Structure 1
Amino acid sequence: MLRPALLAASALLPVPALLPLPALAQDAGVELPTVNVQATSGGSLTVPSESAARAAINLTPGGAEVVGDTAWANTPATTVKDMLDFVPGVFAQPKWGEDTRLSIRGSGVSRSSHLRGIQLFQDGIPLSSVDGGGDFQEIDPTAFQYVEVFKGANGYQFGANALGGAINFVTFTGRDASPFEGRVDVGSFGFYRLQASTGGAQGAFDGFVTGSWLTQDGFRDHSAGENTRGSANFGIQLNESLETRFYLNATNVNQQIPGSVSKTVALNSPQSANPTNVLLNYQRNIESVRLANKTTAILSDTTKIEGGVFYTNKDLNHPIFQVLNYNYEEYGAFTRLVDERSIGGFNNRLVAGINYGTGTTDAQRYVNTAGIAGKLAYWSNDDATTTTYYMEDHFYLTPAFALVGAFQYLSASLDRTAIYNATSGGNDYGLFLPKGGFVFEVAPGAQVYGNVSRSGEVPTFSELTNFVDPIIGNLQAQTATTIEVGTRGKAPTYSWDVSLYRSWVENELQCQDPGNTLGLTCTVVNLGSTIHQGLEAGFGVQVLKDLFTPGPITDSVWLNVAYTYSDFYFNNDPVWGNNRLPGIPPHYLRAELLYKHPSGFYAGPNVEWVPVAYYVDDANTLDTSPYALLNFRLGYDNGKGPSFYMDARNLLDVNYIASVSVTGRASANQALFEPGNGRSVTVGTRFTF
């Protein structure tokens, strides 16, 4: 039988976490309380503390990070770029409003709209669409206490099977939130935000409610937006080993879309919008409600089970080349078992689970007259059902060395029923995805790890839809075999996290944008054999201390760096040979030099650097332009009472290309480029009672 403290640590997690190695957990200063201590001290069984999550993630046999809200709370954070920009391996670039182009290890690198190749979760509950797609407009950074990033196959314990892995957004609860917190942000380009939250616990009950309102004119023409978002969760701790929690999320987003422009326009007139977007009044407007429940039960000293259900109803009003009026209704369930025990004198940790989701999209498209829906042009009902079975086992040959074996089986069915000007059809997919790896604690606070894994992604409905042809596409699933090795560690004055990987990808799904004046969206194709390989390196080091306040609690200067090297290319393709895959820079660097004073004052510059241009087409005929951005931030936050910040970005007012669409063979003036924002300054204050 394992120590109760180890089981308690896993019980704190929203998903089964890996068994914390005692030496590493102690080195990180993490306490591993028993279930009884956690219950009586006011903690939640369904949502872990950030320290518990950090202890658990250290046993992942590959690249993984926990990012606390201190990374973005005192910033004008509106997108996942603001939240994850210092996570090596994550390439996130702003487009307009809260929309972001996100890629991990080249996942969905060609997607100029929506998300693919990374599966999203909230508190361990599936958040992505049932067909595998996703969006960011419903994610409010002010609602989360930390984010877990599992790169590549390291999201297996979620049942995540995509090339890019999984991201889990973890909310506050009434047991760890302030009784009242509010904030006000004001900045360039008409940016205003108000946010307030409240939380508390009384005996077995706790609750947390937050809401925000945001409006901005946007840097570019035709990029104004306004959104109102609210979320809440209410927990009932029925006894020291049983807790259930209910979740509610509601979103109302109205956002103009400026669109892609040519390279010349992007670099010389970056505030310009695509004329077609203005003429047809491109927008993405969303109203959504999401309900979910999660229950965690500690069955014994060695076994935990959790499960729950979720339901989403979303209305999309989306004037583009046509006016898309889509209603999404999705629901599903999940269950997950964690068993930790001694087998033949060796510690063992088994995780097994099932994720199930199904949903229907009522897809109607109308003739677009300046953003107003005209005559019906298309109507279908799209049904998707996805089931993932998964298991992952850690077998400890020694207290410091674990072998990891895992598998997933993904079953997906996508069916279309034609109602008007459409063609009925569908595709079924089944993928078996195994994994093997290890984690070795070479010294207290230092690990090496590695794994070999398979990943698989089925096409989403948006990818199976060719807007020129009503027939559903006959695309194959994208699969990949990945080898990864790396190391991570932490000490009082430095930390590091380095991963090296290589993926052999088959049938990569690429979204080829026509980039023309018709306003049509991209057509998705299967590529042949491609290679994704790279290096993800992050480190933090205290470079100076005792500058002005020598003593036991001193001031210091920290250097934080996140570097991503991406080497993606065709593998002897009959058309493109060994050309580079378009859409992502080979080098991406974020670095910050930050002075910290024990009073809570901080200040320092940071840079974003893309030193080498990258291609936007498979033919490698058209590329972007290198850029370097200088930013600066300062503020005051002592962890209680009021705080304030000032965040200045792109101080040199550089014209640069932040994001791109990709295509097969580009022409010189093709509209494939999204300009980045000009110089901006935002100030804000947060106050807590």
Structure 2
Amino acid sequence: MRSPRASLLAPGICAVLLAWPARAAEVTPLPGVVVTARVESVPAFELPAALDVIDLREDNRARADLAEALGGVPGLLARERQNRAQDTQLSIRGFGARATFGVRGVRLYADGIPATLPDGQGQLSHFALAAAERVEVMRGPFSALYGNSSGGVVQVWSADGGGETELALRGVAARYGLRNASASLRGSAAGTGYHLALARLDGDGYRAHSAARRTWGNLKLHRDLPGGGRLDLVANRFDAPDAQDPLGLDAAQLRANPRQAAAPAWQYDTRKSVRQAQAGLAWRQPLGAATTPRASVYAGQRAVEQFLAVPVAAQANPLNGGGVVDLDGGHGGGDVRATWQDGEGRFELTAGLAHERQRQHRRGFENFRGDEPGVRGARRRDQHDTVRASDGYLQAWWKFAPAWALQLGARHSTVRFRSQDHYVTAANPDDSGRVEYRQTTPVAGLVFAPHADLRLYLAAGRGFETPTLNELAYRADGGAGLALDLAPAVSRNLELGGKWRGAGGARLEAALFRADTDDELAVAANTGGRSASHNVGRARRQGAELAAQLPLAPGWSLQLAATWLDARFRDGFCTGPCAPATRVAPGTRIPGVPRRQAWARLQWQGQRWEAAAEAQGLGEVTVDDRGSARAPGHGLLHLELARRWELGGDGHLRGFARLDNALDRAHVGSVIVNEGNGRYYEPGLGRSLLLGLEWRH
């Protein structure tokens, strides 16, 4: 694994920021406009889209994973796998549910820097929650304006520095050896606001063979410029060496002992190491009252080494790529756009261009030497992969009557994949190849305001999702070369929704939605740590969402979120050579997608004490395309208690406790879709007490 090079960008850009003349930075509250919407002059309440903002500034969780904070977003499913060698499973309205590792079908951003690469694959693990202030989530048709694999959008935003210097120290300890410590320093120097955050997580893991260590560092600098402009620098680094992978369990193993690791995990010492660094620079400068240009550039480096449980016998095939994956690659890009406003708050137009490049050196090795398994052996794969994505986009919002507004947009995307094979033998031919995908994704939305506190809207659009490099890497028929026959999945999306807001912060939102997809991408085979994909025809995802925030009495509040989602294949297909046992009938449920999920949080906030009860319920999910096996649904209860002590001056101390899965319910936390050995199930956490202490000054 090579040392990330993106971090070398940070010192030079920092020097530019610190040298730039500007007025003193100030602390800014959470904005009323959701940045994810990319409509600068209009509050989220006025837009024809489902948008949520989650405040992360004070919480009672471990801050070990973003999934902890996303339970209250309807239509979104974030499943904690209790396996830190693999990333959180994230899906929005059923998009992304097929992912067996990483995130697909959903666009991810950290402080405006893409965490989804040009090929459509993203990661959540490097998000520095110690620095995070809020999470923004967009669902529905307007997500398509973000380009490839935008079935939804999730953005994490760090807090700004500025004003008085603030130091925060936080420590958390929980059952199963979980320890998480973080430090955050915010303030301003020479007119530049800064926010530096560091965090370290160690854990033995709920299951055997699942110990992990993660380290994060995040730096955010901002400088206000004359005339209302602003310059931002964000740089972060993530390191996770040798995170153990316990693999999934089959049904019998799950019943016998959910905390065990599968036997191949011990045999091959399955594990994964990740190092990542990236930096980004963003600039905006109003030109008068009407026009605001923006520009951003970013670059990053990611190195991954993963030891898989590929049997030695399978590697006798000369076309097999081995049981050790070694990836080393960089990515970067830029976005330039300009926004024009009419000055009366009735019209806004944005036009922009974006370009991204991803390069990846993929090598494969045998996971044995002689009779010794779980070590790097002979080389079996060596290739350089490149992805380039070039996009142009246009978006307009127009309030054409007192009670009516229209939002329109379109994005044209070109995504080019190229692979150069450097491992060519008499039994393994040259697997080089290239493929190009083009797609235009128009969207439109209409908003009606029958009352000052009520909005009704209708939105429609088209989205698309290309296969990722990992999905192109393995052919479903087991042959050599890339799966260049894969086509992008194209979806037609429709949403009807309403938003209401009342006194005291009360709000109610509801939406009906449908997404019809052609050339649906699905898992064709998933065995030995390798996942191959194929196009399976038409699919449909339709459902309803409801979210509410209700103040009940002084100090008391209730939050609710509920989702009904029916996701099915509309065409029949075969999961292998066609036979009755491999046939998937039309109307079969898409695996990994629950039909029902619900979440509720009752909270009491006193002057010094606070308490909360949080409940979540999840329906059963199928685990393979044929629907031959299922993970049962479950309901969980979590309890919280916290107290605050003022220490004089501006300092305070906050202690908190959280009891996760208070009733100690056995449940399946996540599933590995179409796992070829029948090890579909990843058990969820048992009863666990978390204790934490946070000091701020």
Q: TM-score range by the shorter chain?
A: 0.7 to 0.9
Match of 1:568 in 2: 567
Match of 2:351 in 1: 352
Deviation string, structure 1 residues 25-72 (Cα, Å, up to 9, x no partner): xxxxxxxxxxxxxx978448xx983344387322331111111114x6
The answer to whether residue 548 in structure 2 is matched with residue 555 in structure 1 is no
The answer to whether residue 420 in structure 2 is matched with residue 417 in structure 1 is yes
Deviation string, structure 1 residues 504-537 (Cα, Å, up to 9, x no partner): 111111124445xxx2422111121111001111
Secondary structure class of the residue paired with 2:90: strand
Report how far residue 178 of structure 1 moved: 5.5
Report how far residue 294 of structure 1 moved: 0.5
Task: Call closer, same or farther: CA 1:346–1:143 in 2, change over 3 Å.
Answer: closer
Report how far residue 237 of structure 1 moved: 2.3
Report how far residue 203 of structure 1 moved: 5.3
Structure 1 runs (4+) deviating above 4 angstroms are 637-640
Report how far residue 296 of structure 1 moved: 0.9
Secondary structure class of the residue paired with 1:528: coil
Secondary structure class of the residue paired with 1:112: coil
| Rounded Cα–Cα distance in structure 2 between residues aligned with 1:247 and 1:572 | 45
Match of 2:320 in 1: none
Match of 1:431 in 2: 439
The answer to whether residue 634 in structure 2 is matched with residue 653 in structure 1 is no
| Rounded Cα–Cα distance in structure 1 between residues aligned with 2:469 and 2:165 | 41
Task: Call closer, same or farther: CA 1:446–1:423 in 2, change over 3 Å.
Answer: same
| Rounded Cα–Cα distance in structure 1 between residues aligned with 2:345 and 2:598 | 42
Task: Call closer, same or farther: CA 1:279–1:496 in 2, change over 3 Å.
Answer: same
The answer to whether residue 409 in structure 2 is matched with residue 406 in structure 1 is yes
Report how far residue 196 of structure 1 moved: 0.4
Is the Cα contact below 8 Å between 1:500 and 1:536 reproduced in 2? yes
Secondary structure class of the residue paired with 1:420: coil
Is the Cα contact below 8 Å between 2:74 and 2:561 reproduced in 1? yes
AA aligned to 1:74 is N
Match of 2:315 in 1: none
| Rounded Cα–Cα distance in structure 2 between residues aligned with 1:492 and 1:137 | 38
Task: Call closer, same or farther: CA 1:59–1:470 in 2, change over 3 Å.
Answer: farther
AA aligned to 2:516 is W
AA aligned to 1:466 is Y
- TM-score relative to the length of structure 1: 0.87
- The 5 A counterparts of 1:599-618 are 599-610=607-618, 612-618=619-625
Is the Cα contact below 8 Å between 1:76 and 1:647 reproduced in 2? no
Report how far residue 470 of structure 1 moved: 3.1
Report how far residue 125 of structure 1 moved: 2.6
Match of 2:3 in 1: none
Greater alpha carbon shift after TM alignment, 628-637 vs 51-60:
51-60
The answer to whether residue 464 in structure 2 is matched with residue 456 in structure 1 is yes
AA aligned to 2:512 is L
Report how far residue 568 of structure 1 moved: 0.6
- The 5 A counterparts of 1:234-633 are 234-254=221-241, 255-320=243-308, 321=310, 322-341=323-342, 347-369=346-368, 370-421=373-424, 423-466=431-474, 468-473=478-483, 474-493=485-504, 494-515=506-527, 519-543=528-552, 545=553, 554-556=554-556, 558-573=557-572, 575-597=584-606, 599-610=607-618, 612-633=619-640
Match of 2:693 in 1: 685
Is the Cα contact below 8 Å between 2:143 and 2:150 reproduced in 1? no
Greater alpha carbon shift after TM alignment, 109-118 vs 443-452:
443-452
AA aligned to 2:663 is L
Is the Cα contact below 8 Å between 2:23 and 2:191 reproduced in 1? no
Report how far residue 130 of structure 1 moved: 2.2
- Report the identity percentage: 22
Q: 1:143 aligns with which of 128, 131, 135?
A: 131
| Rounded Cα–Cα distance in structure 2 between residues aligned with 1:652 and 1:51 | 38
AA aligned to 1:270 is P
| Rounded Cα–Cα distance in structure 2 between residues aligned with 1:672 and 1:513 | 13
Deviation string, structure 1 residues 634-670 (Cα, Å, up to 9, x no partner): 112589611121011112222111111223xx89x71
| Rounded Cα–Cα distance in structure 1 between residues aligned with 2:90 and 2:345 | 41
Task: Call closer, same or farther: CA 1:638–1:328 in 2, change over 3 Å.
Answer: farther
Report how far residue 323 of structure 1 moved: 1.3
| Rounded Cα–Cα distance in structure 1 between residues aligned with 2:29 and 2:341 | 18
Deviation string, structure 1 residues 541-599 (Cα, Å, up to 9, x no partner): 233x2xxxxxxxx432x2211111110112143642111111111001111222221x1
Task: Call closer, same or farther: CA 1:384–1:625 in 2, change over 3 Å.
Answer: same
| Rounded Cα–Cα distance in structure 2 between residues aligned with 1:304 and 1:564 | 38
| Rounded Cα–Cα distance in structure 2 between residues aligned with 1:565 and 1:476 | 29
Is the Cα contact below 8 Å between 2:367 and 2:374 reproduced in 1? yes
| Rounded Cα–Cα distance in structure 1 between residues aligned with 2:63 and 2:683 | 19
Greater alpha carbon shift after TM alignment, 459-468 vs 300-309:
459-468
Report how far residue 398 of structure 1 moved: 2.0
Match of 1:208 in 2: 195
Report how far residue 103 of structure 1 moved: 0.2
Task: Call closer, same or farther: CA 1:73–1:592 in 2, change over 3 Å.
Answer: closer
Secondary structure class of the residue paired with 2:393: strand
Report how far residue 391 of structure 1 moved: 1.0
| Rounded Cα–Cα distance in structure 2 between residues aligned with 1:177 and 1:540 | 33
AA aligned to 1:627 is H
- The 5 A counterparts of 1:17-32 are none
Q: 2:34 aligns with which of 53, 58, 61?
A: 53
| Rounded Cα–Cα distance in structure 1 between residues aligned with 2:610 and 2:479 | 56
Report how far residue 154 of structure 1 moved: 2.6
| Rounded Cα–Cα distance in structure 2 between residues aligned with 1:672 and 1:482 | 30
Deviation string, structure 1 residues 288-331 (Cα, Å, up to 9, x no partner): 11011001111120111111111101111111131111101111
| Rounded Cα–Cα distance in structure 1 between residues aligned with 2:77 and 2:212 | 24
Task: Call closer, same or farther: CA 1:654–1:49 in 2, change over 3 Å.
Answer: closer
How many residues are treated as equivalent by the alignment? Answer: 627
Match of 2:581 in 1: none
| Rounded Cα–Cα distance in structure 2 between residues aligned with 1:386 and 1:409 | 10
| Rounded Cα–Cα distance in structure 2 between residues aligned with 1:487 and 1:43 | 36
Task: Call closer, same or farther: CA 1:513–1:175 in 2, change over 3 Å.
Answer: farther
Secondary structure class of the residue paired with 1:590: strand
Match of 1:65 in 2: 52
- TM-score relative to the length of structure 2: 0.86
Report how far residue 223 of structure 1 moved: 0.9
Report how far residue 402 of structure 1 moved: 0.9
Structure 1 unaligned regions, length at least 5? 1-38, 546-553
